[in-house]
Amino acid sequence: MLLKGRQAESFARRPSGDVWAVLAFSEDEGLSSDAAQAVLSAWAGKAQLDVTLLDDDAIKKEPALLFDALEAMSLLGDPRAVRVRTSGDKIGALLAEAISIGEASPERFAAKLVIEAGSLASKSKLRAAAEGASRTACLQLFAEEAGDIGERVKAALLAEGATIEDDALAFFLGDLPGNRGIANAEIEKLALYSRGLGRPVSLADIEELTATGIRQDMGGVILSALEGRPADAHRALDRLTETGTSPISILRTLQMETLRMLAAHEKIAAGDGNPGRSLRPPVWPNEWGAFRARLNTWPPKRLMRIMERIHDAERQAKTAGAAAEPTVRMLINDLARTAEAAR
């Protein structure tokens, strides 16, 4: 059962009782995560939901984990669910098998299943299994329009008894990351700032909140790497390391810029010669020349390879803990050297 856009979001908040499994997928993994959490909250209701979290690495290492988790009963009698985070079709066949079993034998599994994924092609085995099963909901989420995000910002501020000036809102939205999860964090930060302010949030407030040295150094790392300036990239990384910036934050920023460049390639291929203003965040006219040069250096296939490297680096960084910085530094260095050679 395939549901798209707003229909999918509505279903996530109020899933029908005959559905035992949900697949939520989107180019913006933050949207998938939000939908998965909404489904779990709806399933829990007022009860305590026992949730088992699995990912690609855990299931690939021990495939039986998935089916063991689905079959296990709660010792306390609480309702159970298995939440799987997957980056594509790496474990698609196993997840598709679980969906098929749950469809044919409802009594087999004691737990419900929710899967959150990134972009899935129409030929994906996992997507095909979810779309074809009557007891599974396949939710395809799309990036929000600026107007929708603006309403979310206003609602978050209103909850704190605050409002925002129109020019300040426009500036904030233009600088907001395209990733739903990171955008949510920025909106929450703005809402906290507005608490007790006693006046509408102004453009000066937004500029003060966003113009930080860390933000500039983060952008410096990414742009220096993608433009083939290894020395500049390492200097910016040094400053971020000194301030204690998380390596994961650097990877997420690189991921957002990579996705933005992929979106630009897609729009150009569709006939849009200058899609800068329609990207998230937008590329302004004075920035378009440098952005276009980076697109020439990084065609879609190379950008997809960056996405693979980001996923690998994030997995290593989470395993390494405090020693994750060299993993990220190596990735940034490799990107900068590749761009330098391409130039």
pLDDT averaged over the chain?
85
**106: cis peptide before it, omega within 30°?**
no
- Write out pLDDT tens, residues 72-105: 887 666 788 999 988 767 788 899 999 999 998 8
Reported as a single tens digit per residue, the pLDDT across 215-233 is: 567 788 999 999 999 999 9
Please tell me the predicted confidence (pLDDT) of residue 213: 47
Asked if the model's pLDDT at residue 49 lies above 80, the reply is yes
Per residue in 230-257, pLDDT (tens digit) is 999 999 888 887 766 778 878 888 998 9
Query: What phi and psi, each to the nearest 5 degrees, are found at residue 136?
Result: -125, 135
Last residue of one domain, picked from the residues 210, 236, 265: 210
- Strands annotated E in the chain: 2-4, 21-25, 50-55, 80-86, 112-117, 136-140
- How far apart are the C-alpha atoms of 91 and 291, rounded to whole Å? 35
* Per-residue pLDDT reduced to its tens digit, 148-206: 678 888 988 998 899 999 888 887 876 665 556 667 777 888 888 888 888 999 988 88
Q: Are 227 and 192 in contact (CB under 8 A)?
A: no
CA angle 124, 126, 130 (to 5 degrees): 115
d(CA 304, CA 293): 18
Q: What is the mean pLDDT of residues 281-297?
A: 88
Structural domain containing residue 161: 146-210
How many independent structural domains does the chain possess?
Answer: 3
Q: Is 267 a residue whose pLDDT tops 80?
A: yes
> pLDDT band for position 144 (50/70/90)?
low
In this structure, are 109 and 57 located in the same domain?
yes
Per-residue pLDDT at 292 exceeds 50: yes
Show which of 101, 120, 140 is a domain's final residue.
Answer: 140
Q: Model confidence over 250-263: pLDDT tens digits?
A: 888 899 899 999 99
Same domain, 11 and 126: yes
Check whether 207 has a pLDDT greater than 60: yes
Q: Where are the alpha helices (DSSP H) in 195-269?
A: 203-210, 213-226, 230-242, 247-269
Q: Is the same domain home to 201 and 307?
A: no
β-pair partners for 81 = 51, 112
- pLDDT for 245: 74
Same domain? 217 vs 306: yes
Which residues have a Cβ under 8 Å from the Cβ of 216 and sit 6 or more positions away?
none
Contact 129, 95 (CB under 8 A): yes
Residues 12 and 135 reside in one and the same domain: yes
Using alpha carbons, select from 95, 99, 97 the residue that is nearest to residue 56.
95
Query: Are 15 and 134 part of one and the same domain?
Result: yes
Amino acid at 307: M
Residue 50: the pLDDT is 87
